[in-house]
């Protein structure tokens, strides 16, 4: 195993372990605060499973190799029966890895969509938006997985070592399709919370903080944009493709789980501040209660703490103040509701 493979193998393990730690931390937070799992948490469990499955697959692929190699090397190299077996096995595993990796990326998108769902809860465009996003995510996922298995004809060229199976084993069509659809869906997630950030009544600094948190998705977009030409220029180098995929995997874990982890950190900090005002005899009890109240996963303090009014999203258009149009009333109601938006899963009940 060459130096490049060793470096890529180290990156693969380190980035995967960090991603596992982030997802596990998210789930541990939910268990600690004793609130029921949301749909996004179950998607996170699925993403965690994908990372765990991918770890040994890529390890074997990097050690044994695949049928994707430079033409000059293929023409000058003598393949032993054992090497052919190793490369065929690695090629079959890389095909499986593409399915697992695609599933991981789209599960993380659903994790983030579920987080943002609480931001637009009960707003006029909630159901339409969620149905539209769900439909696009389903269609793009099916497209990516279909392209994964339709590039080589006949099918066994995906793992054929000798004779040369041709360029289909480089999976460039699959890579480009994945990259483009990944960028499109990530941008969709980035723009989703923008209307709420505009409507919510918060200071400029608080809006900037939330904007930075939501804009983390640009990291994945940037990685994908850089990855596409890099992989195209190194189409026969599996180490290049794996390195960028591992980087993208870690970025997706950070983006999808950062809101929940940030919410817990902020809630724990508020609980700590409250503890300084409590008597020593009640400190432990109040700490636990305050932590559960303020540190619930996903609470980004988008809601207005001083506003106890709840709205159901309906406006009585027959009792409008003089001079107010129905569209103005609807925008006013949406703005009030946006000020009450929270990423706290308790709002789901």
pLDDT of residue 292: 52
What is the phi/psi pair of residue 101, to 5°?
-65, -45
Contact (Cβ atoms closer than 8 angstroms) between residue 88 and residue 60? no
Domain ranges of the chain: 3-258, 272-348
pLDDT of residue 206: 67
Give pTM, 2 decimals. 0.77
The mean predicted confidence, pLDDT, of the chain is 79
pLDDT of residue 46: 97
Minimal CA–CA distance to 101: which of 188, 179, 214, 186? Answer: 179
Give the model confidence (pLDDT) of 241-288 as tens digits: 899 999 999 999 999 998 888 777 766 666 666 666 655 445 555 555
Whether the ω angle into residue 163 lies within 30 degrees of 0, i.e. cis, is yes
Give the chain's count of helices (H) and strands (E): 12, 0
Rounded CA separation 113/193 (Å): 10
Contact (Cβ atoms closer than 8 angstroms) between residue 19 and residue 249? yes
CATH 1.20.1070 fits 3-258, yes or no: yes
If phi > 0 it is left, if psi is from -120 to 50 it is alpha, else beta; for residue 37 that is beta
């Amino acid at each position: 195993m060459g130096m490049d493979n060793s470096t890529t193998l180290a990156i693969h393990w380190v980035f995967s372990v960090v991603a596992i730690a982030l997802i596990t931390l998210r789930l541990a937070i939910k268990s600690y605060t004793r609130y029921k799992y949301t749909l996004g948490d179950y998607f996170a469990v699925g993403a965690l499973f994908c990372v765990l499955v991918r770890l040994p697959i890529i390890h074997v692929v990097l050690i044994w190799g695949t049928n994707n190699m430079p033409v000059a090397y293929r023409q000058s190299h003598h393949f032993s029966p054992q090497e052919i077996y190793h490369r065929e096995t690695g090629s079959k595993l890389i095909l499986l890895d593409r399915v697992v990796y695609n599933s991981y990326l789209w599960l993380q998108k659903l994790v983030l969509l579920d987080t943002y769902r609480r931001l637009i809860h009960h707003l006029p465009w909630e159901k339409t938006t969620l149905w539209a996003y769900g439909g696009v995510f389903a269609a793009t996922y099916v497209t990516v997985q279909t392209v994964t298995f339709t590039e080589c004809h006949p099918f066994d060229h995906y793992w054929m070592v000798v004779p040369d199976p041709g360029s289909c084993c480089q999976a460039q069509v699959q890579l480009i399709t994945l990259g483009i659809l990944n960028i499109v869906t990530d941008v969709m997630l980035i723009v989703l919370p923008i209307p709420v950030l505009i409507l919510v009544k918060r200071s400029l600094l608080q809006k900037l903080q939330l904007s930075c948190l939501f804009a983390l998705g640009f990291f994945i977009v940037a990685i994908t944009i850089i990855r596409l030409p890099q992989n195209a220029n190194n189409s026969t180098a599996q180490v290049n493709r794996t390195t960028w995929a591992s980087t993208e995997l870690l970025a997706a874990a950070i983006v999808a789980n950062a809101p929940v982890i940030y919410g817990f950190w902020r809630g724990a900090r508020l609980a700590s501040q409250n503890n300084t005002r409590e008597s020593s005899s009640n400190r432990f009890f109040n700490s636990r209660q305050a932590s559960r109240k303020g540190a619930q996963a996903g609470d980004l303090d988008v809601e207005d703490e001083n506003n106890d009014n709840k709205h159901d999203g309906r406006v009585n258009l027959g009792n409008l103040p003089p001079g107010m149009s129905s569209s103005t009333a609807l925008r006013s109601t949406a703005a009030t509701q946006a000020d009450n938006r929270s990423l706290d899963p308790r709002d789901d009940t």
